Amino acid sequence: MPRNDPAALPDHVRRIVNEIETDDGDDAPPPEPGRSNGRIESAVRQILIEIGEDPARAGLVDTPARMHRMYRELTAGYHVDVDRLINRAIFEVEYSEMVVVRDIEFHSLCEHHLLPFFGRAHVAYIPKGRVIGLSKIPRIVEMYARRLQVQERMTQQIAELLMERLQPDGVGVVLEATHLCAAMRGVRKPGTVMTTAAVLGLFRRNDKTRAEFFAHIGRRSPEG
């Protein structure tokens, strides 16, 4: 999906994009207000009618506008500029041991049912003379989480971006999440946790490196 003109985004979405991209999103000047074409609101009203509700009743009259605002917020990651997010926060450092950032909380939307999935991300890399500022890794996770997603793809996207931008010896990413599409509908199994992993470079080639990563995040390494 192409990145929209930031000036065309609603204020609340622009603030979220700024928060993901920079450390001072609250201080950024407000953009020109975005304008709704009404199509999302119209679609929500039709859904309410189809399920047997009355979109004109008091409790639902503002629901279409609320849902429009909510989905714009939850999909703000489409509008994030990766270069602005990283913003010269890659530094030349002679350090070659594993860097691990654990327990990054995230919330996303499953693209199959538009229901939330949420959990924690664990990210590691082995620098090759270049490290990235600590706050940038949670922001990268947030950028990809605020899109319509499948957990497997999101895991891979985080790993591939770090591999591309840092060019380290390796990257490892693990996501653990609960999916409401499995808890509320279908098999209806609350408490089920899905774990996905992406390992690149040394994490893929070297069993000891991979085992060290899984030990850091408190999980048993799968058989290499």
Q: Which residues form the catalytic set? A: 110-113, 151, 179, 181
Are 18 and 25 in contact, with CB atoms under 8 Å apart? Answer: yes
Distance CA 36, CA 69 (A): 10
* CA end-to-end span of the chain: 36
Q: Which of 37, 175, 25 is nearest to 110 (CA)?
A: 175
Distance CA 161, CA 211 (A): 22
Q: Which of 174, 138, 137, 139 is nearest to 154 (CA)?
A: 174
* Half-sphere exposure (Cβ direction) of 22: Cα atoms closer than 13 Å: 11
Q: Which of 33, 34, 53 is nearest to 44 (CA)?
A: 53
Q: Token pair of 127, please?
A: 């620098």
